[in-house]
A and B are shown apart, each in its own frame.
Chain A
Amino acid sequence: MMQRKGILLLLALVLGFSVSGWSQAGVHKNMVQVQGTFGVGNNFHEWKYYVYGDLGFMASDHIEINGVIFANLGSSANDLTGVAEYISPNLFGQDYRTHSLFFGPRYHFMPNQPFDVYALVQPGVTLVHTQTVQSVGGFAAEPARNGLAPVFSVGGGLAYYGSFFHLFGETRFVAGGYYNEAYSIPLNEIRLAFGLGFNFN
């Protein structure tokens, strides 16, 4: 019974958002948008593959308060020795993942029309996880590590809005570095994300 009420309430909410936004096109004040898709990154050494998600609220016609998550699924190279700045024999067989969280404003240049261009500046943090992918005789020379690295990002994107959905493409430059006592990993990277998003008007 409670479940049915919950579903009905959810449907009513979705319908309410939809009807209220039927005649609206483009970004505008109080709009909420959600995007979940895939992304790629390139750090001039390898390609990295991400699941990308973001949630934003339009505080005015131009300004969106937005949070973004990048979850790293893997990369085209499986070797830390090509990336880390200090090369140690201990790094043989080590790989790493970088999961990022960004938060900050996006500025939309073309509100209330289907086509939009936006710019973003978002500080964030990257969780760096190193792991052994190839051990020697069952022995991992370097322990698995988890570390949090502050990062800076700047970028922009294009979007085309329908009543409920929008298509978008976004690029951002990420700068930062992960440092531990033994080695460091540059986190400078260009990331791209593209796909379909929902907008609740």
Chain B
Amino acid sequence: MSLQRLLIMAVMVMGMGSLLPAQGFYQGGSFALGVRNTANLFTEDGSAGIGAGGQFKIGFGPKVNTEWFYDYISSKPADFGFRQDHHIGWSVQFAPFKQGYGDKAFVPYFLGGQCFDLTRLRTQRSNGPLYDSGQIFSAAVQVGVGVSKFIGPRLELTLQGQYMVHLGKDAHFHQDEITGLNEVEVHNETSLAGHLLFTFSANYYLFNLWK
């Protein structure tokens, strides 16, 4: 199952949501708990994978929502080995059009935010040497676009794509020119490295914090 097919499935779920009724519950102060899946694509060394996590959301106004999330993402490079990412961060989601969130229609939004990341890469072939980057900490910023759809007054589905740029040690898989085998390379100097993430989430609005 390719990640592209998963994204198509997520779009289909959002499309099915458009057939269901919705009324506006969302307003400033609304608090939601949610679950999410994230697809990690186009990492610079070719790693791709799926993540799962949770979030809470606090609305600051009809057009301004925020999400505070945790993701555990497990990815595989083109060859063998694995990459683990733990993301914890937050984003502001700004819906510029129409009446903002909670509208009956699909509501597009822009997002921007900040994130902290723990990354680990490991690889070993048969009884060969083990390459392990250890846990690498980095800070990141992300920007992207998404679409929100309310199904019923309190359940919100979102699908968003974002590019996340990490500032920290650069760790990536590297194919040895002679053996053709994967190795893990860690550069101690600080640098920028990014990846593209697509996130599907389901959020249930519980109460209003302002009231």
Name A's B-contacting residues (CB within 8 A): 59-60, 62-63, 65, 85-86, 88-90, 103-105, 107, 119, 121-125, 148-152, 154, 173, 175-184, 186, 188
Name B's A-contacting residues (CB within 8 A): 1, 6, 9, 13, 16, 20, 35-37, 49-53, 72-76, 80-83, 122-127, 130-132, 151-155, 157, 200, 202, 204
CB nearest neighbor in A for B122: A181
User: Could you tell me if B13 and A121 are in contact, using CB atoms closer than 8 angstroms?
Assistant: yes
User: Could you tell me if B50 and A179 are in contact, using CB atoms closer than 8 angstroms?
Assistant: no
Assembly CA distance A121 to B52 (angstroms): 12
Assembly CA distance A42 to B132 (angstroms): 34
User: Could you tell me if A121 and B200 are in contact, using CB atoms closer than 8 angstroms?
Assistant: yes
- Partner pick for B155 among A63, A124, A151, CB 8 A cutoff: A63
User: Which A-B residue pairs are the 3 nearest by beta carbons?
Assistant: A179-B82, A150-B52, A181-B122
Assembly CA distance A168 to B154 (angstroms): 26
- Partner pick for B72 among A62, A150, A154, CB 8 A cutoff: A150
User: Could you tell me if A62 and B152 are in contact, using CB atoms closer than 8 angstroms?
Assistant: yes
A-side contacts of B49, CB under 8 Å: 177, 179
User: Could you tell me if B1 and A175 are in contact, using CB atoms closer than 8 angstroms?
Assistant: yes
Question: Which one of A105, A122, A173 has the highest number of Cβ atoms from chain B below 10 Å of its Cβ?
Answer: A105
Question: Which one of B122, B125, B202 has the highest number of Cβ atoms from chain A below 10 Å of its Cβ?
Answer: B202
Smallest Cβ distance from A83 to chain B, in angstroms?
14
The majority secondary structure among interface residues of chain A is strand
User: Could you tell me if A59 and B13 are in contact, using CB atoms closer than 8 angstroms?
Assistant: no
- Evaluate whether A63 and B152 lie within 8 angstroms (CB atoms) in the complex, with A151-B50, A184-B80, A188-B1 already known: yes
User: Could you tell me if A60 and B80 are in contact, using CB atoms closer than 8 angstroms?
Assistant: no
| 6 pairs from A and B in contact (CB 8 Å cutoff) | A123-B36, A150-B50, A173-B9, A175-B50, A180-B122, A183-B80
Assembly CA distance A188 to B204 (angstroms): 27
User: Could you tell me if B204 and A105 are in contact, using CB atoms closer than 8 angstroms?
Assistant: yes
User: Could you tell me if B82 and A104 are in contact, using CB atoms closer than 8 angstroms?
Assistant: no
A-side contacts of B202, CB under 8 Å: 104-105, 121
B-side contacts of A180, CB under 8 Å: 82, 122
Assembly CA distance A84 to B94 (angstroms): 43
B-side contacts of A125, CB under 8 Å: 52, 72
Assembly CA distance A65 to B6 (angstroms): 23
B-side contacts of A176, CB under 8 Å: 50, 74
User: Could you tell me if A154 and B126 are in contact, using CB atoms closer than 8 angstroms?
Assistant: no
- Partner pick for A179 among B20, B74, B130, CB 8 A cutoff: B74
User: Could you tell me if A122 and B35 are in contact, using CB atoms closer than 8 angstroms?
Assistant: yes
B-side contacts of A178, CB under 8 Å: 74
B-side contacts of A65, CB under 8 Å: 204
A-side contacts of B52, CB under 8 Å: 123-125, 150-152
